[in-house]
Amino acid sequence: MLRLLAILILLAISGQAQATEAGWALLRNGGHVVLIRSAMAPGVGEPHNFEIDKCATQRNLSERGRQQARKIGALIAARAAPVERVLTSRFCRARDTARIAFGEGEDFAPLDPPSADETERNVQIEAILREIRDYSGSGNLILVTHLETIKALTGAPAREGEAVIVSPDGEKLHILGRIIFN
């Protein structure tokens, strides 16, 4: 039984490594859209006194999250994956992930966590999909966002700091590859 468990763990790790290498191959060629979930931030949800313009009222990157963001940027640079543009949620943990990893990030409010109001949520998701469909650059478009946004766009989760390479597929996005930065 222990041997079977060890084999299953090795297969899972091997599968992640293959998924990551396939993701790197896509990014090296440029022209792709990459959703990155913000790096590690302790806690769940936002504090009761949350204000979008005040980082002190939000969940922020931990030291491990800042290290993860540095690793994201360093690996993308080392792997020669061209970055053309970086858009980010207005939440501080997403902004900080973008700034630490890429030195920049342009606020794009639709990348904030989806609204509880269904009409507003649909407007947000459509704005992101329009940005993705309209992208035709030669480098990669990086979108730093949140778990809920990635799930709404792809139907699949992402780990903190994980990159999900996507392409438009009707009303959703098709996942082409993933890169895990842990």
The string of pLDDT tens digits covering residues 24-44 is 888 888 999 999 999 988 877
CB 153 within 8 A of CB 128: yes
How much is the pTM?
Answer: 0.86
Which residues neighbour 28 within 8 Å (Cβ) at sequence distance 6 or greater?
Answer: 79, 80, 81
- Cα–Cα distance for residue pair 91/140, rounded to 1 Å: 22
- DSSP letter for 35, please: E
The string of pLDDT tens digits covering residues 43-98 is 777 767 778 888 888 888 999 999 999 999 999 988 877 999 999 999 999 999 99
Note the Cα 132 to chain centre separation in Å.
Answer: 14
The CATH class for the domain spanning 2-179 reads: alpha beta
The string of pLDDT tens digits covering residues 101-121 is 999 999 999 999 999 999 999
Higher pLDDT, 178 or 14: 178
Q: Both tokens of residue 117? A: 């109001």
Strand partners, 143: 35, 87
Other C-beta atoms closer than 10 Å to the C-beta of 121 total 15
